[in-house]
Amino acid sequence: MIFETHAHYDDKAFDEDREELLRTMPEEGIGTIVNISSNLESIEKTIALAKKYPFVYAAVGIHPSDSGELTEESFAWMKEQCGHEKVVAVGEIGLDYYWKEPEAAVQKKWFERQLLLAQEMNLPVIIHSREAAKDTLDMMKALHAEKSGGVIHCYSYTKEMAAEFLKLDYFFGIGGVVTFQNAKKLKEAVAYLPMDKIVLETDSPYLAPVPNRGKRNCSKNLVYVAQEIAQIKGISYEEVVETTRRNAMRLYGIEEAR
């Protein structure tokens, strides 16, 4: 059974068929899903999904692009939500310099606070880093992010940068982009990474893999991601699915995954 480590089923893109889609996941080979929050509103929706579906878990955190909405009051509320029994990570958090708002100083402030929160709550982190590799790595090192552990979501940097994140003992989320013809540096990074540090993710509803590129993504498309990784690594599809499942269980501290 495939372990989906990063999806956003609270997104409005799933409003019309969310219940039916999630209900059919186990019979389609998707055993476990971690739904990731990105803003304050999505935290409540994410926890509600985790409560409703036995195979869905939750991550609580504020995406860098939404970090401008945080206040001390809302941060305290978010911390309370991290104590829910089905919350398995703090995320997604990090830095995103592709978008100019909020400014870098704001993003860094709340990235730091959430990294430290994860350590306090003894939870791993889900790192979002876009066009911000050096600052992300520098902050993770300075704040001892290896204490919490976690995953670099939607890994998109070089194999050389992957080596730096490996020194912190982080996992790497690999999704649909690895199937794109022009994803040369990502394919090189996947070839370089040890299999015990790779987990599968979709970032649904975004970044659907070939042959469904451009369409709404969902966890059922992880078959194509696993097939591509198997080809790159020269191993079987079944080995990719089973190894990444075990990796995800270690990452999130889940004892039994379906």
- Residue ranges of domains in the chain, CATH in brackets: 2-252 (3.20.20.140)
Residue 225 has pLDDT above 90, yes or no: yes
- The label of the residue with tokens 């911000």 reads 132
Q: What percent of the chain has pLDDT over 90?
A: 98
Task: Give the span between the Cα atoms of 103 and 86, in whole angstroms.
Answer: 32
**CA separation for the pair 202, 217 (Å, rounded):** 7
H or E stretch at 95: strand 87-96
Q: Are 77 and 62 in contact (CB under 8 A)?
A: no
Tokens read off for 169: 């003992």
Tell me what pLDDT residue 256 has. 62
Residues 30/54, Cβ–Cβ less than 8 Å: no
pLDDT tens digits, 108-144: 999 999 999 999 999 999 999 999 999 999 999 999 9
What is residue 54's predicted lDDT score, i.e. its pLDDT?
A: 96
Tokens of 178: 């690895």
| pLDDT at residue 257 tops 60 | no
Residue with tokens 């649909």: 176
Which tokens go with 66? 């939404």
Order of all β-strands in the sheet with 2-7: 2-7, 30-36, 56-60, 87-96, 125-130, 150-152, 171-174, 198-200
Distance between CA atoms of 129 and 64, rounded to whole angstroms?
9
pLDDT in tens, 39-97: 999 999 999 999 999 999 999 999 999 999 999 999 999 999 999 999 999 999 999 99
pLDDT 10s digits, 13-40: 999 999 999 999 999 999 999 999 999 9
Average pLDDT over the chain, rounded to an integer: 97
| 4 touches 202 (CB < 8 A) | yes
